[in-house]
Amino acid sequence: MKITKVYTKTGDEGLTSLVGGYRVKKTNSRIEAYGTVDELSANLGLLTSWMKDGDDKELIVRAQRNLFTISSYLATDQSKTPVGPSYMLPIEEVELLEEEIDAINSNIPPLTSFLLPGGSHEAAICHVCRTVCRRAERRIFFLHETSPVSREILQYMNRLSDYLFVLARKLNFVDGVREKIWKKP
């Protein structure tokens, strides 16, 4: 696909196009859902710019690719346009996150209290990604109330935020940064 022009001026009046060419308001819940997924992907890109090369970084880039797939799915109003097979997320992506969560949890100290987000630079950004992921998940569930969203996408977004939580813990652990425990002031 070659993109020759970034601006089209067609959105100047508050409308945008979905997959299939249907125009909707930019305030539409579908736009809000995939826009927040895009925001998450951008934050994950920031996270990868601080990460060392390796399996964790590769999984974050894989998540960004999955989020692009999810955005394409969410940008398709299935009552008007069929979802293409390339816009479907395989259940194996959910299972991969579950395996990674279990692997990380088996190699870091057990969680015994609520934590304050933060720590190393990487871990702090990872916590920001986690919170944006939770917001994206809420936006997708809001859309799901009126337009069904595939179970795999709902599960993936939930597992991705869990993965980002344990990854932040791992990044702090590897860097030797003590987690800040929540204590009532």
Kindly state whether residue 4 falls inside one of the protein's structural domains: no
pTM: 0.92
CA distance 90 to 106: 26
DSSP string, 50-67: HSPSSHHHHHHHHHHHHH
Kindly state whether residue 3 falls inside one of the protein's structural domains: no
How many domains would you assign to the chain?
A: 1
| Domain around 139 | 15-181
What residue ranges of the chain have pLDDT lower than 50?
none
Residues 34-43 have pLDDT tens digits of: 999 999 999 9
Q: What is the pLDDT of residue 1?
A: 60
CATH of the domain at 122: 1.20.1200.10
Kindly state whether residue 1 falls inside one of the protein's structural domains: no
The encoded tokens of residue 81 equal 């346009």
CA distance to 17, 25, 30, per residue, from 8 (Å):
11, 16, 21
Q: What is the pLDDT of residue 86?
A: 87
Q: Which residues pair with 76 in a beta bridge?
A: 19
Residues 114-139 have pLDDT tens digits of: 998 999 999 999 999 999 999 999 99
Kindly state whether residue 60 falls inside one of the protein's structural domains: yes
Q: What is the pLDDT of residue 3?
A: 66
